[in-house]
Amino acid sequence: MSPRTVVIGVDSSTQSTKAAFVDAESGRLLAVGRAPHVVSGTAGARESDPEGWWQALRDAVAAGLAESGASASAVTGIAIAGQQHGLVALDRSGRPVRPAMLWNDTRSAPQAAGLTEALGGPDAWTARTGSVPVAAVTASKWRWLRENEPDNAAATAAVRLPHDFLTERLAGTAATDPGDASGTGWYSTATGAYDPELLELLGLDTALLPEVARTGATRVGSLTAEAAEALGLPTTTAVAAGTGDNMSAAVGLGLGGSGLLDHPVLSLGTSGTVFAASRTRPASPALSGFAAADGTYLPLACTLNCTLAVDKVAALLGLDRDDTSPGGEAVLLPYLDGERTPDLPTASGLLTGLRHDTTPQQLLGAAYEGAVVTVLRALDELLRACGLDPADPEVAARPLRLIGGGAQGRTWVETVRRLSGRPVIVPGGGEPVAMGAAALAAAAAAATDTDPVAAATGWRTGDDAQLPPMERDSATWERIGSVLDRASGPLLGGF
């Protein structure tokens, strides 16, 4: 009997690091080590110290190794799936010049608008990159840094995404993948490479950027002696190129060229996200037209305000998060951090339809409804980008896979079911981002050319909860949509 081999899939998100220890043969989840991140900033700023991510990775790996009972010598591969878009500026020694600007830092909204205009408008951007610059995109943040902190920009010797930074710490190699690179604003999904004209527009030297590996599963090296000592792992451990968190979740769910295509996923976390793997290259100004980690595409729409925003409303009302009822006449758009989809970076929350008989439970229910309708409206645009008609009965009958922390919440699940009218699948395996990264690690460690999507599909070890469709609450959908359409300009901070 051959000894068990173990791979580590790392989910380095906005709030924490999770290190999933996975049996490379069966896909059985042995343990998940966890460590928190620190996020700071006010008035639109959201920042973290990248050194904190490295420490959290060390802590999470140590905790997972202890909990799993696996021998360190059994670990054959590791891959990072990181929060997308963050700007990590490094000096010549590889140390951060300043804290990383995170995806939900909205200070660069004016720079995003300026970049869009400079290239000739949204269509020009989608033709090249698949996406239009918004405050979240790394290119906007780089422009902000050059304009607001020129000394820090001048001191920058390397520009990385969060997952790139950690991968380089592991392998000593400056590498990224097409998936995460496609969220920068300077990578062309049309050519599969950095775009020289966009780099010139941004004043960004290509020498500052990592090389783009063929896929997120490409082996870019092994653990350096320093990284191996820090993590307590062997230097023979393969390091995959890794990818962004959304791309990794797609792999973990079996979405891709060798798995499910054009099947939607809704992730309920700090942000609300809808995506699908597709062979159709997306080019809609309303979406992020990303590349996937396996060579397909990953059209995606992301809202800034999801579980944290609704939890804040619950706290203000003094209610438990599930102490709710449908919103009635009340409409609450919980855009507490500005909004990305629709593109309203200076927006704040909006409440309307308040009556004498409105209850606190209805107000909380209205916050759920506002968040869910916002992300489900983006889902229809996503399906169109995949070449599908959202009104087609066959398309409408495709299950909506629900992941993220909110997928474990009763009210979130029921609100999605009521407002989508779709069957809902809640995957039972758990930790799709970390499991996707583990599949990338297993592919990188394999001696043969292993497809990570096929590997993840073969690992399906949990029972998925499948919930039948409910009759769609069209009245609530239309009420919220009407308020959103009429208020998006003057009341929500639209340009």
Residues marked active site are found at: 245
Is the link from the previous residue into 342 a cis peptide, with omega within 30 of 0?
A: yes
**Element (DSSP H or E) covering residue 250:** helix 245-252
Identify which of 264, 307, 204 has the alpha carbon closest to the alpha carbon of residue 395.
Answer: 264
CA distance readout (Å), 474 to 153, 256, 330, 416, 470: 50, 32, 15, 13, 11
Contact 234, 185 (CB under 8 A): no
Query: Coil, strand or helix: which one is 127?
Result: helix
Q: What is the C-alpha separation between 290 and 338, in angstroms, rounded?
A: 22
Residue given tokens 């599908």 in the structure block = 388
Cα gap 304→341, rounded to integer Å: 8
List the structure tokens of 52.
């904190």
Q: What are the strands of the beta sheet with 400-403, ordered from one edge?
A: 288-291, 297-303, 272-275, 265-268, 400-403, 424-426, 465-467
